[in-house]
Structure 1
Amino acid sequence: MLLSALLIKRKSFLGRCFHLGKSILNPISEDVVFRAICFNLKQRRWSFLEKNLPSLTNAIASRVLCEFQNSPQLALEFYNWVGDKKSVLHSLESSCSVIHVLVNSRRYDDALSLMGNLMTVNGLSPLEVLEALNNSYGICESSPAVFDALVRACTQIGATVGAYEVIMKLQIEGCCVTIHAWNNFLSHLIKVNEIHRFWMVYKKMVSYGYMENVNTFNLVVHALCKDCKLQEAMSVFYRILKSGIWPNAVTFNMMVDGACKMGDMDLALMLVRKMEIMSAGSIKPNSVTYNSLIDGFCKIGRIAVAEELRNEMMKIDIEPNVRTYATMIEGYSRAGFLEEALRLCDEMVERGLLPNSVVYNSIMHWLYKEGDVDGASLVFTDMSDKQIPLDKFTCSILTRGFLQKWLYNQSS
């Protein structure tokens, strides 16, 4: 009888420990709590977990997160649930653990968001986040992709210096980021218009022995085009062809856009006409290609050629988009053909495309230029009715238009 009673009590005790249904006065070992949480988490028994939050520590939370490598959604739910119930447990350790899990499962957006919050909300420096990721790297069986993700997170929040510090720190420690992280950082430098720094970083990357890929070459071409060094960009372009790395549509479009921006429309057209031949038939012009050409010809006043190109793209089943129409409308308006510009506005609506602020701004600007204040007011009314957001150019155009109308009324 005594033995039976002891067995019953022991079974009851283990059951309570395993399910964490009730708080236990005696200390519970970390392993028991860990196993119990994992078991109940798999069943999503949040009520059982909530009753035993006092037993949950930072170390246990991190272990649980790493345990659910193959269930990233559940790991993220647990992380968020813990934060809602007991925010103090959202330590750097647990945050890094869930980041490793998310990166390993290729849920990069969620991982980048958490990294960004650690730096912007929690005020941690990129190097502090890097150190924490390094500390939990082995426990969570992570991959170098987590360091690439940290560089991307830095560039997303505008931490240019931080991103570079992370790359250099890893380089010194012999745990290098991949070419993808370098490309991301180089792309960021172009976006923030730090072209001089771009070339310094690019040369350093090459000196470390990194093998450039097509994305790297595209960034080099882009940087040269921004510096109006079209001939050098062409040299790089031919170097790509000779290196055995096939250029992609982005490469060609950057070259075409660079030529158009510099007014070399002959080169731009040549690139488009020979695109298929130079890519061994793998690449054809797309809407981005034609939009660059149309924009280039509109800017030099050759609106008829731009119209021919628009017709050409439709013949080969490339649908004009809002940018195509916005460019054409601006081109016609600039050339003094406002009726044609308005006709295109109607056409794009018939095709199911909603004019954006660029389209409306262009029409209003040129109507005011011609002195048609009432016409511009009607266009603005239509813009308001369609709830198109106003931008700074809209406000500037309206201010000049109202001033023009006021001066006209004063003089009459």
Structure 2
Amino acid sequence: MSSSLLRRILLPTRKPKPDSTHSIASASLTTVSSPPPDHSNPTPSDPLISDAVSILTHHRSKSRWSTLRSLNPSGFTPSQFSEITLRLRNNPHLSLRFFLFTRRHSLCPHDIGSCSTLIHILARSRLKTDARDVIRLALRLAGGDEEEDRVSRVFRSLIKSYNRCGSAPFVFDLLIKSCLDSKEIDGAVMVMRKLRSRGIDLQISTCNALISEVSRRRDASKGYKLYREVFGLDGAKAKAKIKPNVNTFNSMMVSFYREGETEMVERIWKEMEEECSPNGYSYSVLMEAYCSRGMMMEAEKVWEEMNVHDVVAYNTMIGGLCSNLELTKAKKLFDGMRTKGIECTSLTYDHLINGYCKVGDVDSAMVVYKEMKRKGFEAEGLTIEALVVRLCDNDEHRAVEAAEIVKEAVRESEFCPSRKCYELLIKRLCEEWKMERALNIQAEMVGRGFKPCQETYKAFIDGYGKAGDEETSSLLAIELAESLKLRAEEEEKEK
């Protein structure tokens, strides 16, 4: 968008007086009060400004900063800084270094106005990251307890200095994204509305970021409502010139899926088909929504509609089939995936292992787990615990095998077993008379801050009793009784 268009849109609708200036700074925004006049503006002939500019542009980098401090040890006012920076506008990197220099040595009490000047200069030179850093500083300098007031002050300042700095319209996109970085969502929405009310559209990436953040921090329905507002879909007087893209719809689909609103996922899918073509990720989200509701026939239809199946699509479908206990189909997809040369991920193996554990096929789960380890992947904690449960519940006395898996996972992937996992291992090892191994597990359990419970004591008491060590069994029974007595006394004191 050209700056002339931006000026034209932001001007009042009434004709200006003969002596008025057509500029963005003179715009009368109905929802924003005018900032107070700045009486500290330096005159163009201020010798300090000219000398500072000369030092910055003509001195060598090693000497310019010490010379600049010698020139004016007391520093610069925000208005002087703005004037100097304006004269350096064609060298934005030098402007930024000058700003950082004044900040580092406390040579300027920067305010919103001085920050705005630098923001414009950085924005027009496409130094977006640096511009957003300065915007966040300006938001902090704006002060006040009300979020919208802080953002409004910065917004007014950027408008006031827009034309003088020869800025670019997407400076307001940077403001909105910076507000989102600072979690000032209401302020970001306010800026969007002020611009939309004058027919100024944001970049599509900004629209998507705003909708996504509102969906994530508020809820998906509020994000969807904002989407319709941003793109002028609810009878707005000024229709948006930009259109939502596939990323817009994908973001909303994911938000509704996370909240369990799978019907809304289908609705947004239909809206997307009217505006743009879905991509592979879109199909995967829709499949995941169907899988989560057990609608595998619908998920398989979506799979068949896809032209290309990538690893995300395969993982989504395999995970859905495993969750719905259709392991034969899942294994077939897994084999087809490898036949087509698509590399599996750790998630692929996690899905299969958990699926086999759910149907009680621990042998197949172990085959997949061993292949996963050979490929160099690490299983998720929940996958490890699912294996442990199935091995411990097996009639073939495989508690030692389960303990080895846990030991290996702790050593190689910093896996942290849960209390339930520890207690199950100890119980099964004691039942199999593997008392030394059970003691090692119990010591590790205590080392991680889990105190042994009554069930753990009973497992050791029964284990030593069956192993013929009545003395140790009796001592543990006494220790358990004392422990229970002490715990009861502590609970009584708390009452």
| TM-score with structure 1 setting the length | 0.75
Cα deviation 1:14-67 (Å, max 9, x = unaligned): xxxxxxxxxxxxx84322322322333778843433434535442343345455
In structure 2, give the amino acid aligned to 1:48.
Answer: T
In the alignment, does 2:191 pair up with 1:166? Answer: yes
In the alignment, does 2:285 pair up with 1:248? Answer: no
- Output aligned runs, 1:291-306, within 5 Å: 291-306=315-330
Contact preservation (8 Å) 1:226, 1:258: no
Structure (1/2) with the larger helix percentage: 1
In the alignment, does 2:385 pair up with 1:360? Answer: no
2:216 aligned partner? 191
1:409 aligned partner? 460
In the alignment, does 2:55 pair up with 1:36? Answer: yes
User: What SS class does the counterpart of residue 29 from structure 1 fall into?
Assistant: helix
Specify whether residues 63 and 407 from structure 1 end up closer, same or farther in structure 2 by C-alpha distance, changes over 3 A only.
farther
Distance 2:407 2:184 in 1: 42
In the alignment, does 2:310 pair up with 1:286? Answer: yes
Distance 1:376 1:74 in 2: 62
Distance 1:28 1:255 in 2: 66
In structure 1, give the amino acid aligned to 2:349.
Answer: Y
Shift of 1:202: 2.8
2:116 aligned partner? 96
Aligned residues: CA RMSD: 3.5
Structure 2 regions of 5+ residues with no counterpart?
Answer: 1-45, 145-149, 425-444, 446-452, 464-495
Distance 1:44 1:316 in 2: 63
User: Taking every aligned residue pair, what percent have the same amino acid on both sides?
Assistant: 21
Shift of 1:363: 0.9
Contact preservation (8 Å) 1:225, 1:233: yes
Structure 1 regions of 5+ residues with no counterpart?
Answer: 1-26, 277-283
Shift of 1:201: 1.9
Contact preservation (8 Å) 2:180, 2:188: yes
Cα deviation 1:187-212 (Å, max 9, x = unaligned): 11222351232233233332342243
Match of 2:346 among 322, 329, 338: 322
Specify whether residues 374 and 286 from structure 1 end up closer, same or farther in structure 2 by C-alpha distance, changes over 3 A only.
same
Match of 2:228 among 195, 200, 203: 203
Distance 2:195 2:343 in 1: 46
Distance 2:251 2:59 in 1: 49
Contact preservation (8 Å) 1:295, 1:327: yes
1:181 aligned partner? 206
In structure 1, give the amino acid aligned to 2:161.
Answer: S
Distance 1:190 1:42 in 2: 47
Structure showing greater radius of gyration is 2
Contact preservation (8 Å) 2:111, 2:138: no
Specify whether residues 352 and 383 from structure 1 end up closer, same or farther in structure 2 by C-alpha distance, changes over 3 A only.
closer
1:351 aligned partner? 375
In structure 1, give the amino acid aligned to 2:52.
Answer: V
In the alignment, does 2:312 pair up with 1:259? Answer: no
Shift of 1:299: 0.7
Distance 1:64 1:350 in 2: 63
Contact preservation (8 Å) 1:40, 1:49: no
Distance 1:37 1:368 in 2: 70
Distance 1:408 1:121 in 2: 63
Match of 1:152 among 165, 177, 181: 177
Distance 1:299 1:193 in 2: 29
Shift of 1:339: 4.5
Distance 1:267 1:37 in 2: 67
Cα deviation 1:212-236 (Å, max 9, x = unaligned): 3223333444455456565664455
Distance 1:269 1:165 in 2: 43
Contact preservation (8 Å) 1:365, 1:397: no
In structure 1, give the amino acid aligned to 2:48.
Answer: S
1:216 aligned partner? 248
Cα deviation 1:53-92 (Å, max 9, x = unaligned): 5354423433454555555544433333332122644433
Distance 1:56 1:352 in 2: 59
In structure 2, give the amino acid aligned to 1:289.
Answer: A
Shift of 1:346: 4.0
Match of 1:129 among 125, 149, 154: 154
2:411 aligned partner? 385
In the alignment, does 2:67 pair up with 1:48? Answer: yes
User: What SS class does the counterpart of residue 386 from structure 1 fall into?
Assistant: helix
Contact preservation (8 Å) 1:34, 1:60: no
In the alignment, does 2:299 pair up with 1:268? Answer: yes
Distance 1:269 1:169 in 2: 45
User: What SS class does the counterpart of residue 277 from structure 2 fall into?
Assistant: coil
In structure 2, give the amino acid aligned to 1:386.
Answer: E
Contact preservation (8 Å) 1:364, 1:376: no
Cα deviation 1:243-300 (Å, max 9, x = unaligned): 4x22223322222222222222222222222222xxxxxxx22222111111111111
Specify whether residues 64 and 181 from structure 1 end up closer, same or farther in structure 2 by C-alpha distance, changes over 3 A only.
same
Cα deviation 1:301-353 (Å, max 9, x = unaligned): 12232222222223333222232233233223333344444444443444344
